[in-house]
Amino acid sequence: MSWLGAVPAIAVAVLLLYIPGALIGACLKFRAGAILGLAPLLSTASAGLAGVLGGAIGVPWSILPYLLVSALLAAAALAVTRGVRWRLTGAPPLRQWLPFAALALATIPTAIRFAQLVGSPADPSQVFDNVFHLNAIRFILDTGNASSLNLAALQGVSGLDAVYPAAWHSFAALLVQVAAVDIPTAQNALNLVIAAVLWPASCLFLVAKTISRRPAALVVTGIIAAAQVAFPYLMIVWGPLFPYALAVSMMPALITCLAAVVRLGRTRTDPLRSWIFALILGLGGLAFAHTSSVNTTIAMGLPLAGLLWWRIARRSGLRAGALRSVLFSAASLAVLLVAALLWFKLRPAPYDSWGPAVKPGAAVGEILTVSTMQSTIPAVIVAALSVAGLLTVFRQRKHRWMAFSYAVLGGLYVVAASFPKGAVRDALIGTWYGDTYRLAALLPLFATPLAVLGALALWDWWQSSAMAARLQGTLEGRAQLRGRGPALVAAAATIVLLALASTAGPLTHYIRGASGVYKLSADSDLLTPAELALLKRLPDHVPADAVIADNPWNGSSLAYAYTGRRVLTAHLFAEAGPDAKLINESLKDGPDVSGLCPALRNQNVQYVLDFGSDYLIDLPGSETYPGVTDIGQARGLTLVDSEGDAARLYRISGCG
């Protein structure tokens, strides 16, 4: 499939992410700009809640429960904002279409870069975590259960171990259902919308609400949002961390909600109760997208929380009577305890495989030069503008909270990049697996608006300079250009900034080097063209109710994602019961192995898919499947189909 052929799926993804949330936002009595800015966040909250409720009462996942829950949340929004007048007006004036033009400055180049990175919309990421993501989408389609309380059951676990944020997979499953595309195409269409639409639109919303709606501010936001490797591109490659990418893409909208509760910027023009309800739903949406987002919010929200606390303390807290002071202090302590509880409980099991890579000073240098993860090429334009923004906020004593939030996230990155393994490192960054990549992806959340502040300061300085006056005088002196001088200068500055931001940095180099992650070739790590060809023929040979033995480390488990035929082991870290262990270890040794035939019957395993011993990654787990790897001419197994040198499908014929 070409990218042109994927346009309908991309359009459906945009509608799924925007329409339900826009309905909720409208019922919160926001204006059009805030409705669009908050829509994906509110849609994700609705999808996540619909998945949990549907899983609890047995309603299969589809567009219907998603729309129903969205309607219920919209009704709740109407109840919350009862008495508040509607703020939607008629057709907006021409000036209000400027944010869409600024969005295009990010969407078009990002979409082009994304297409260059992925190659074909049907090509899957050939990286570790994608085995889970692809099969998890099929799991939702197969079981009808899109609950975040159940998604990890794909790995053979239950209870709390089965909890995994399911919003991204739920949207991908809806794309398969509504747009009638295969799972890899749905995956790539959804990720393109996340990278090229949700992320820059969320950044534009943050800037417009907290900094400025000036044309220069919006134009710079669109350009800068598309010019950084750390997000969105890093998360489309590393892992790949698609659910995390969905969460990060919407975080600027949540930052806007936090700023609104503190009544900063232009957020004061909207009802406080609307912002509070949006914040609550937004936190839910982020949690359904990726659980670590809750702790990210705690970290980056510390400066705003401190500012809000100080305002309340000055007005009605510490200066009030004794009883109110005690209550205020008790409430403050309770909030701190809840935040600490979330910080230390909403995290995975201790994981310290990734250690320090650089010295602390070098890590700080990476942040300032926007060259995290030891990138050899700094993002010159973004770096210069963000540093200028930092200087501006401290000189003007405005928007300092952005600098402090940036410092908090930067500090966490420094810990990940340079602190030794141990209790301190785990306490601070255990939420993110101690992974520098995940924390690097958070830095653009504030590097982007700070770069906008820096650009505005430089632009204002230029406009007041003698050089600008002479240039505009020269342009005005030409009859054919009279009255158009400022517009021409602004257009030229936009073109120059767009060209420099797109080329004077690591983006082109990174896209070229990372495109191999999605390349489908004979050397692919996860799936080769021969293996894919065999997978596409599986439905011709394997009955719908049969189970296929497989080795997830060589890509054969993707039979589930591509065909819907169930596999014995759907993920690399799946929990294997006694029957599965026996099959995985001894199938090719023949039907005489004690207990093998009963195990096969218990699990309804009738076929085995052998993709050889070319593993995705060389870890100890890959060695625990000798019975289903490199089968050859084993007794009791009949070759049904093959493709190339290493892709083989066998029917188990030795157990009668």
Tens digit of each residue's pLDDT (9 = 90 or more) over 181-191 = 999 999 999 99
How high is the pLDDT of residue 16?
98
Q: Is beta strand 547-549 parallel, antiparallel or unpaired with respect to 566-567?
A: parallel
How high is the pLDDT of residue 92?
58
Residues 6+ apart with CB under 8 A from 90: none
pTM: 0.94
How high is the pLDDT of residue 37?
95
Cα-Cα-Cα-Cα dihedral sign, residues 388, 391, 395, 399: positive
Residue segments in the chain with a per-residue pLDDT below the cut of 70: 89-95, 316-321, 374-376, 468-469, 471-490, 502-504
How high is the pLDDT of residue 323?
72
Alpha-carbon distance 40 to 45, whole Å? 9
Other residues' Cβ atoms within 10 Å of the Cβ of residue 320: 14
How high is the pLDDT of residue 20?
98
What strand order describes the sheet that includes 566-567? 566-567, 547-549, 605-610, 647-652, 637-643
How high is the pLDDT of residue 576?
87
Say how many Å lie between the first and final Cα of the chain, rounded: 42
Cα-Cα-Cα-Cα dihedral sign, residues 178, 184, 187, 189: negative
How high is the pLDDT of residue 338?
93
Query: What integer best gives the mean pLDDT of the chain?
Result: 90
Cα-Cα-Cα-Cα dihedral sign, residues 17, 20, 24, 29: positive
**pLDDT digit string, tens, across residues 78-98:** 999 998 888 776 555 656 778
Token pair for 271: 């009802």
